[in-house]
Structure 1
Amino acid sequence: MASATASPPPSREPPTCKETAAICSPCCGGLFTLFAVILILYSVNKAYCHAKFSIQSITVSPVSDTWHVDFLVKNPSSRYSIYYEGDDAAVRFGSSNAAVLSTSQKRSSSSHTAFSLDFVAECNTSDVVAGVLEIKLRAKHKLYGLEPDDAGHVNVQCHNLTLNHENIDKIQLTIIENSANSCYLELFADTVSVSNANANARVSAAEWRIGFVARSPVTGCKISLRPIKSRLLRGDEVIAKSSSPSMDPFGQVVTGDETNVVFETVVAMPEVIGDVIWDIRVEIIAGVKTGIEYGNGFLLVFCGDIPVNFTADPAGNMIGSLLGNMRRCDYLYRDNLNPYLESLRS
């Protein structure tokens, strides 16, 4: 009996171009859509601020030499926010130091904001011919996608500023890009207290207590500061040093986002009550801890142009306090202090 022989399977024709296109189209379409979405989000996140400042009026008080400047601001792009009324707003007037006394804002329309600024400057108003007014305001850039928002500030420069002329020359937006594991830190000198100086007895020595506060806008990190060593300068001259940690009323070392540095027996005092010392500087080496991994280290802090206003209490003692808003400090972050051990010993 003859055995049955299995017939070979029919040969399969290779897919046609149309069949291949039909199979690949969903995959290619999905990849193209994903790429387009990423490209759109990237373009939106990199969009410019587009804010525009124009000066509406300038007045100067003949009594207090206080400058009042009214701006009309074309609002920035929807992804940007500018904070006009913060206590961290700062100004500089040409080569002279200046202190912000107050700021205010009012929404004048859906596209514009009225912004007012009051400040006093180190220079006399009669000496101002054409000054450059620099303004720094806190800002935020809201990002699409999974990226955390960026924090930073807006720098506005007004050139040829006089009582009857203005020219907004440059608006620069400085934004710090944050990653998921980063901590954006801002440091300010927010209080100054000078006491134990008897004006009637012409005693020039006093205790200076300068308070500092650390902030982490947008990123919201938990910050702890501990000053290690600091020095107080007037201009380029060192007038006091301190190596004592900040203590609370119970004698415990203070750590947290606020701290004080105390300088004892400081001899830099004005001769006349009502004077302002404009060129006080503080340099600090401080330890810092944050709530993120790799966020612990040391800060080399530089706080310049701190204006201190001197008045007298009812007993005739000369006292000093910070004039205007708190002052922004610059700093360098370091993992260790090995290169700076020699300066710590001095």
Structure 2
Amino acid sequence: MSTVQCRVERNTLTTPPSYSLRFIPHNIYGYEELADEIVRDNPSLNRDQVLVMLRARDQTVQRLLINGNQVTLEDAFSYRLSFKARLNEPNAPLPSAEECLRVKISASRPFIKEVRQKARLERLPAEEKLPLITSTEDTELGLNDVLYDQGVLRLMGNDLLFDRNEADCGCTLTGTRSGAAVQHRFAAISNTEVLIVPTIPAQEAAWNNEYRLALATRFTEHGTLRTGTYRGRLRTPLEVSGFDHPNMEVGILTGKATTPHVLITGGSLHGEGMIRVQAVLDARDGHILCNLLDMEEEGAAGDPVAMRANGTYTLAGFSGALVSSLNLRVDDYEALHALIRNDYAGQLVDVLAVRP
């Protein structure tokens, strides 16, 4: 039987120092992997039917919650609703569900008891100290994980301080298909924040707009060079033009592939500027939902369109959008789905710099 892995980590904010345990999973299981495990444990079951039932169960539980019910599976999990709201007086208007409604999922006591009884803990060795980039943001556009040649890239994290005069210390941007550039222009360098005026290396094709970021430093004067690589992927805005051209094709929503997964083939444009296109995995049945977004986090958005296979789709704009409609052609649905799932934690967004 496999072990439950944990790593001892120091709580840096406590005095005297204290330590906590962090769970380190062997793997992360989604619908597909869970279906495989169920069939392995129950060979008489049909995998496709198991996958359908897993998704159907989640959809049914969600419907029951929406209708004001609680779901309690006595030997497994309980699903219930709760509120987080404060009213100044008893008769005050109720806040909207988006503001106050919470969904809580908890394991039953028998379930927890059996996990605790059967689990065997394994202590992992302490991690080597490395610079840790926890997030990135373009300060001009105010968007996370966007790499913009007209802006400043802010890195946030821990142990980021480096000596820019040391030849092997600093930051490097590497295209996932081709190209790499050591960064030389910095607005600030500290232990928790680095500001870069980015030099962005070109890649083989315009749709290859995905980059990895690494930071190298020494923690002591003669210490070993330590390199930390940001877990996320940075994406540059894509130039989109030719809306009046009958054979318009502009690749988007692609990684290092030699051909684009998705192409813009036309649309209705009302000016020049920037807009975003988003592709996310629907948690209910695993297909892709695609829509247009404005340039503000949590801002305006167009209605999502479900994508389930290769083909043509039209995205609608929203009030005040530069683009009232955008025509897409998905040429490699499976590759797009894998990219979103494996490299972007279920959400892939491209910034589009549009002009006629």
TM-score greater than 0.5 by the shorter chain: no
TM class by smaller structure: under 0.3
Structure of higher RCO (CA pairs closer than 8 Å, 6+ residues apart): 1
- Report which of the two structures shows the higher radius of gyration computed on alpha carbons: 1
Using structure 2 for the length normalisation, give the TM-score: 0.24
More strand by percentage: 1
**Alignment TM-score, normalising by the size of structure 1:** 0.25
